[in-house]
Amino acid sequence: MKPKDVEDARVRAAAMLRKARIAVTRSEIEAMEVADLGLGDIKHIGLEVIVYENNDRYCAKELILFPRQICPEHRHPRVNGRNLGKKETFRCRYGEIYLYVSGERTPKPKAKVPNRYRSFMTVWHEIVLRPGDQYTLPPNALHWFQAGDKGVIVSEFSSTSTDENDLFTDPRIRRVGT
């Protein structure tokens, strides 16, 4: 991504946080990760992340997704004997998020996935989260999510995050960000 694209995404995400009345510091905005996942299509695939804390016991983040932006299908596998993979709780703070996990396929899902990515979305059991709703994923659970029409802000509370170990269904994806 070009530096201007990264800065534009940070400005948009900061505006969403203000609109949602979620206070963050200037240094948190400056350190925000803008992840296009190596696909160069931030409008459709990617997310913006503020990491509040990530240590050997727990992690706390804010995930910001623009309208209809998708965090593609992935899982958080076992890292070693001590780290069984990330267990994460998503709590919706603003907007609406469509979370997809293993289970019975939802007949008419709310997600709108561009055709070029559709074959890499294999789990279609839909969970809709609105402000105040939360859902916990066990380690190694295959999942993906998409923001609704207003975008979404989700607080993530999890065990230690090792994003570099995430396994994506789409082999073109690289966990890179700015």
Task: Tell me which residue has tokens 């396929």.
Answer: 105
pLDDT at position 176 is 56
Reply yes or no on whether the pLDDT at 127 is more than 60: yes
* Whole-Å CA distances, 43 to 8, 61, 75, 85, 119: 12, 21, 22, 29, 19
pLDDT at position 143 is 98
For residue 125, name the pLDDT band (cuts at 50, 70, 90): very high
62-111: pLDDT as tens digits: 999 999 999 999 999 988 888 888 999 999 999 999 999 999 999 999 99
Token pair belonging to 69: 């932006």
pLDDT at position 178 is 47
pLDDT at position 23 is 96
For residue 156, name the pLDDT band (cuts at 50, 70, 90): very high
Domains in the chain (CATH in brackets) are 3-168 (2.60.120.10)
Name the residue with higher pLDDT: 78 or 7.
Answer: 7
Strands (E), the chain: 33-35, 47-54, 59-65, 70-75, 88-101, 125-129, 134-137, 143-158, 167-168
Reply yes or no on whether the pLDDT at 142 is more than 70: yes
Mean of pLDDT over the chain: 94
* Whole-Å CA distances, 174 to 19, 89, 147: 31, 23, 21
For residue 52, name the pLDDT band (cuts at 50, 70, 90): very high
How far is the C-alpha of 13 from the C-alpha of 117, rounded, in Å? 24
pLDDT at position 85 is 86
How far is the C-alpha of 104 from the C-alpha of 126, rounded, in Å? 9
Reply yes or no on whether the pLDDT at 119 is more than 90: yes
How far is the C-alpha of 166 from the C-alpha of 85, rounded, in Å? 9
Reply yes or no on whether the pLDDT at 177 is more than 70: no
